[in-house]
Amino acid sequence: MGATDPQLGQNKSSFWVAEIVSSKGLVEALKAVLKIVVVGWVAWKFCLSHSEVVSGLLGKTPGEEAILVLQILGKLFLTLVSACVVIAAADYGFQKYFLEKQMRMTRREMKEEFKLREGDPLIKSRIRGIQKRIAGRRMMEDVPKAAVIVTNPTHLAVALQYEEGMAAPKVIAKGAGFIADKIRELAKTNGIPIVENKPLARTLFKNIKIGHSIPKDLYKAVAEVLAYVFKLKGLRRA
């Protein structure tokens, strides 16, 4: 997998942000014009609907004219307030929709950028699977080098290698279930002794990594197993 240029991802994100800001500014300008047009249209319709009332002011006394004008202005104010409330509600709905859409786009951009920076998780998972299978094959190839196989007896199997000159025995293969069965089969094929020791098998399987030597606190237990194996081999030769 090729390395991704971080600058490319940064430029892409910057372009996307600039595009959003530019689009949002244009939308806000159009909304402002639309609000003015709507409010003006409502005021114009109101005046048209009250034109006869206004023309009737000529025959009224000054006091009646003042009351009627105040009534008309009050109705106009309430009408414009109602229109503004409707516009505000519509604007709120639009803003919520726009924000949710922006958030969805942001999450999508983040996922795409993560893939660019970190690599496709699916591909990485496949690579890990391949690496695990390769490591498993190598482990099985090392089983014939073992001096003994310590078992649980059926669920676990741990292959220990010990040769002259080694500072301490080391685990060269281990497994549970199906893998344990394969280790035992290879051991039988290659004439490697299989020793049942449940506590030791569990401890080795749980705590010792493949390729690592056993710690000092297990020397005695492993030495007893190896001594038994070497004694068994000596008896067979005799």
CA dihedral angle for residue 145, residue 193, residue 134, residue 209, rounded to 10 degrees:
-90
* Three-state secondary structure call for residue 115: helix
- CA R_g for the chain: 42
The boundaries of every CATH 3.40.1690.10 domain in the chain are: 140-237
Question: Could you tell me which residues come within 8 angstroms of residue 228 by beta carbon, excluding any fewer than 6 positions away?
Answer: 195
Please report which confidence band the pLDDT of residue 202 belongs to, taking 50, 70 and 90 as the band edges. very high
H or E element that contains 164: none
- From the CB of residue 228, how many other CB atoms can be counted at a distance below 10 Å? 14
Q: Read off the pLDDT band of 194 (50, 70, 90).
A: very high
- pLDDT given at position 135: 62
Residue 21, pLDDT > 70, answer no
Q: What is the pLDDT of residues 108-167, one digit of tens each?
A: 777 776 666 666 667 677 767 776 777 667 888 888 999 999 998 778 999 999 888 888
Tell me yes or no: is domain 140-237 CATH 3.40.1690.10: yes
Residue whose tokens read 């951009």: 109
* H or E element, residue 215: none
Q: What is the pLDDT of residue 4?
A: 43
- Looking only at the bridges linking them, the beta strands covering 194-196 and 170-176 are unpaired
- Report yes or no: 148 and 160 within 8 Å, Cβ to Cβ: yes
When the pLDDT of each residue in the chain is averaged and rounded to a whole number, the result is: 78
Instruction: Tell me if 157 sits within 8 A of 113, measured CB to CB.
Output: no
- pLDDT single digits (tens) 215-226: 999 999 999 999
Strands 148-151 and 194-196: parallel
What the block records as the tokens of 148 is: 């003994």
Token pair belonging to 203:
């401890």
